[in-house]
Amino acid sequence: MARRLGYLFLDTGAMYRALTWLALRRGLDPDDEEAMARLAAETTMEVSQPPPGSGERWRVHVDGEDATPHLRTPEVEGSVSLVSRVPAVRKALVRLQRRLAQRGPTVMAGRDIGTAVLPHADLKVYLDASREERARRRRQQVALKGPGPSLESVLADLERRDVIDSSRSVSPLRPAEDAVIINTDGLSLEEVVERVLSLVEA
């Protein structure tokens, strides 16, 4: 979408993953809300465009370290929902996400963009899919880097994350009231892009 429109792109989940990676690297307990709040307040985070030809969509540096290669590790996957549910963490990163959106027209992806980060966005699209389809896609994504977990394991992890993200006290996972909901089961990437582009053009 961002490429087709010539917009900036930001996946806010990468920011929560980067903070989670930093917490694990420093030996902090992701379930310790006070420690996560302090870490979010003290950490400097930079999100930038990747170098040409890198194949990446963005780069995330935390306290000067490049967290990008570590964002999809099993350890980060297993802890990111614990970190992202902390109100002080969300407050700190939402503030940064709003600043980044002011750089220019932006496609921003995340679980609370339409409801909390950019509630006045020109267009809000909520992409949905069955848990089985999401698990299949995630497993394919992980498998690109080598043998991955079983489909059952990926599905269990997605269900656990959904419960945490939809029940958290701040910015729970839900579509914005004025979001266009697209069920992507059975649709190719290009078909989803075309549907969203038609909404932009309208």
pLDDT confidence of residue 53: 66
CATH topology classification for 2-201: Rossmann fold (3.40.50)
User: Model confidence over 140-198: pLDDT tens digits?
Assistant: 877 776 777 788 888 888 888 878 777 777 777 788 999 999 999 999 999 999 999 99
Residues 6+ apart with CB under 8 A from 91: 170
Rounded to whole angstroms, the Cα distance separating 7 from 5 reads: 5
pLDDT confidence of residue 143: 72
Tokens of 46: 């930079």
User: Model confidence over 90-130: pLDDT tens digits?
Assistant: 999 999 999 999 989 999 999 889 999 999 999 999 999 99
Tokens of 32: 């310790």
Sign of the Cα torsion 138, 143, 146, 148 reads positive
pLDDT confidence of residue 93: 95
Rounded to whole angstroms, the Cα distance separating 8 from 57 reads: 10
In the chain, what percentage of residues exceed pLDDT 70?
96
Query: Which residue has 């307040």 as its token pair?
Result: 41
- SS3 of residue 191 by DSSP: helix
- 82 C-beta neighbours (distance < 10 Å), count: 19
Rounded to whole angstroms, the Cα distance separating 13 from 81 reads: 10
The structural domains of the chain, with segments of one domain joined by +, span 2-201
